[in-house]
Amino acid sequence: MGTTATAAVPEPKYWQLRTVLVRTIDEEFHTGEVLPNERDLAARFGVARATLRQALDQLELEGRLVRRRGIGTLIAAPRMGIPVAEASSRDTWRIVDCGIGAAPAAVAAALGITGDEPAEVHTVRRVRMMAGQAVGTETLFVPAAVMPHVPGFLAESSRARAVLKQFQALPIEGESRAVELGVAEEEQARLLERPPGIPVLVLTTRYAGDAGKTLAVAISTYRADTCKLTFGDAGVEVRAAS
Amino acid sequence: MGTTATAAVPEPKYWQLRTVLVRTIDEEFHTGEVLPNERDLAARFGVARATLRQALDQLELEGRLVRRRGIGTLIAAPRMGIPVAEASSRDTWRIVDCGIGAAPAAVAAALGITGDEPAEVHTVRRVRMMAGQAVGTETLFVPAAVMPHVPGFLAESSRARAVLKQFQALPIEGESRAVELGVAEEEQARLLERPPGIPVLVLTTRYAGDAGKTLAVAISTYRADTCKLTFGDAGVEVRAAS
DNA sequence: AAGTGGTCTAGACCACGTT
DNA sequence: ACGTGGTCTAGACCACTTG
């Protein structure tokens, strides 16, 4: 007997370090201030730089820190509340491109397209801007069968506007959404002006017509470090949990 | 001239590795299968183990892999769709504890409590179970001023049920929510039966009465690796983006 | 040129689960 | 006892930004 005791496994160093840093940050730093550099911090806490970085990684994931190569580690501003509008009114989007072609398998499934031959869908990609910076990307998929009357001779940007306009005129009865965690691949990362691999909130929206028929699907990605998705009224201003 | 060229900075090894692994996983493995161990994989790809682990970290964040100490690295099951119910019907929750006391500052602010003296709130914590496993935690805050008639002599579990019952009877006109990324601290991690630091989706819900008055606030955390939060109807079955 | 964070290495030891 | 993933180290070099 004896080894059955709770063993008192100490928490990993990087987690202890994170706890200390959270307190320090909250008490002694303000948004925009610069932390000491990683080598100094590691020395101060008596750990290897890699271990310190593990703690900083956590804090960055939580949106408390921003690290800029060549500059330093800064205290991050509170996350922006991004309204996930039911009926989006005036929004700041920048159209990237627009095309028509076969839907990716996953999207075709969501659209309820079961046919063997790949279904044609209009695809519009755009970037959501907020406070002058790119915070999210969106790819909208509308089956050509739902919206067949987009002139093909238009320039890409005109066609994008035409597709969006017709989309907004669709008899949409309701939306259902899902939010999950992902990482930005090359395409999204480029649009968000960030390196690949940054964490993103992936928002999938299904637009339903009558009888629950899916009229369109949109897949959006938002920078998880700087964004907080809000549903319903204004965002709730809570930061720390429980 | 010449150095202005795009420089062709190669992508980091861990990102290339991730890309290769994604393809390999999608094409040659099924849910529940075990990957070769990290040392072998690192050797096979000719990289240090730490670099390989960086790639695996990404895939775990995306919910594609699950790593179990002492066991190995497994292909993860698709994420569970967790309905964020407007009017939750029959749900599988396990009550953890219940108390009354001063609201944390952040919660007090969300509740619109501006007084100098700390406002008393009822606090109920519970764990959401799904398929037999803990997937999320919730802490509900209801001001005592909104719901003053909970008998104080009851046992904790009875008081929790009493608070929840009265909460459900409140004249709630609407909910507004926010979703952001966080990491589980000790408390939540313990309830989720995971180590501290795992990524979680933090869901903040504000329950409003008439005139927009905030009647209650709930802060929930869901395991980001295994959960996908769904709003509205059933979850949309889409996995990959764009 | 100097300082910052980002990547990568090679190796060690620990905690956990199975045999 | 053995094999797995988890943590930690000490050091190197690269990419980016600023004086």
Of the candidates B176, B208, B212, the one whose C-alpha atom is nearest the C-alpha of residue B84 is: B176
CATH number of A34's domain = 1.10.10.10
Q: Which residues pair with B129 in a beta bridge?
A: B134
CATH of the domain at A203: 3.40.1410.10
Phi, psi of A189 (to 5 degrees): -60, -40
What are the residues facing A74 on neighbouring strands? A34, A66
> Is residue B69 in some structural domain?
yes
Q: What is the pLDDT of residue A3?
A: 35
Check if residue A9 sits with its Cβ under 7 angstroms from strand D. Answer: no
The reply to whether B106 and B211 lie within a common domain is: yes
* Residue B134 CB-density burial (10 A; 0-12 exposed, 13-18 middle, 19+ buried): middle
* B95 & B44 share domain: no
The whole-number Å distance from A13's CA to D7's C1' is 8
Regarding whether A201 and A154 lie in a shared domain, the answer is: yes
Same domain, B97 and B185: yes
Is B171 within the bounds of a domain?
A: yes
> Given this model, what pLDDT does residue A203 score?
98
Does residue B135 sit in the same domain as residue B95?
yes
The answer to whether the C-beta of B4 is closer than 7 A to strand D is: no
- Report the distance separating Cα B27 and Cα A164, nearest Å: 36
Indicate the average pLDDT of chain B.
88
Question: CA of B227 and C1' of D19: distance in angstroms?
Answer: 49
Beta carbons within 8 Å of A3's beta carbon, 6+ residues apart: none
In chain A, residues with a C-beta closer than 8 Å to the C-beta of B224 are 180-181
pLDDT, one tens digit per residue, over A147-191 is: 877 777 778 888 999 999 999 999 998 899 999 999 999 999 999
Whole-structure pTM value: 0.91
Closest by CA to A130, choosing from A235, A30, A217, A46, is A235
CA dihedral A94, A100, A101, A104 (to 10 degrees): 30
B146 lies in which domain range? 80-241
Cβ-Cβ contacts under 8 Å for B141 (sequence gap 6 or more) = B103, B107, B111, B121, B122, B123, B216, B217, B218, B219
What is the predicted pLDDT for the residue at A5? 39
3-state secondary structure of B122: strand
Is the CB of A205 within 7 Å of strand D?
no
What does the pLDDT read at residue B233?
Answer: 66
Domain boundary, last residue among A25, A55, A77: A77
Residue B131 phi/psi, 5° resolution? 50, 40
> A49: phi > 0 → left, psi -120 to 50 → alpha, else beta; which?
alpha
Same domain, A17 and A92: no
pLDDT digits (tens, 9 = 90+) for B81-127: 999 975 555 568 999 999 998 888 888 888 887 766 777 899 999 99
Q: Is the pLDDT of residue B6 over 60?
A: no
Alpha-carbon gap, residue B150 to B144, rounded angstroms: 9
User: B8 falls in which pLDDT band (50, 70, 90)?
Assistant: low
Q: Tell me if B102 is assigned to some domain.
A: yes
Q: Are residues A154 and A232 in the same domain?
A: yes
Put simply, whether B223 touches A (Cβ < 8 Å) is no
Q: Are residues B119 and B154 in the same domain?
A: yes
Tens of pLDDT, residue by residue over B157-214, are 888 999 999 999 999 988 999 999 999 999 999 999 999 999 999 999 999 988 888 9
| pLDDT for position B1 | 39
* Protein CA at A50 to nucleotide C1' at C12, angstroms: 15
Tell me what pLDDT residue A89 has: 52
Q: Please name the residues in contact with B18: beta carbons below 8 A apart, sequence gap of 6 or more.
A: A197, B55, B58, B59
What total of structural domains would you count in chain A?
2
Q: Along chain A (242 residues), what's the average pLDDT of each consecutive run of 10 residues?
A: 49 97 96 97 98 98 97 97 71 89 87 76 94 93 84 81 92 93 96 96 94 92 97 54 35
**Residues 86-145 in B contacting A (C-alpha not used; CB under 8 Å):** 104, 106-107, 109-110, 125, 139
Same structural domain for residues A86 and A173? yes
CA-closest candidate to residue A189, choices B241, B14, B227:
B241
Tokens of B136: 């999320």
Q: Average pLDDT for residues B74-79, to the nearest whole number?
A: 97
Contacts 24+ apart (CB under 8 A), B43-48: B45/B17, B45/B20, B47/B13, B47/B14, B47/B17
* A140 and A84 fall within a common domain: yes
Cα(A179)–Cα(B203) distance, rounded to whole angstroms? 11
H-helix or E-strand spanning residue B183: strand B174-183
Residue at token pair 């008192």 = A8
Picking from A98-107, B39-48, B55-64, B174-183, which range would have the lowest pLDDT averaged per residue? A98-107
pLDDT digits (tens, 9 = 90+) for B13-25: 999 999 999 999 9
Is it the case that residue B64 has pLDDT exceeding 70? yes
- Work out how many CB contacts closer than 8 A connect A with B: 174
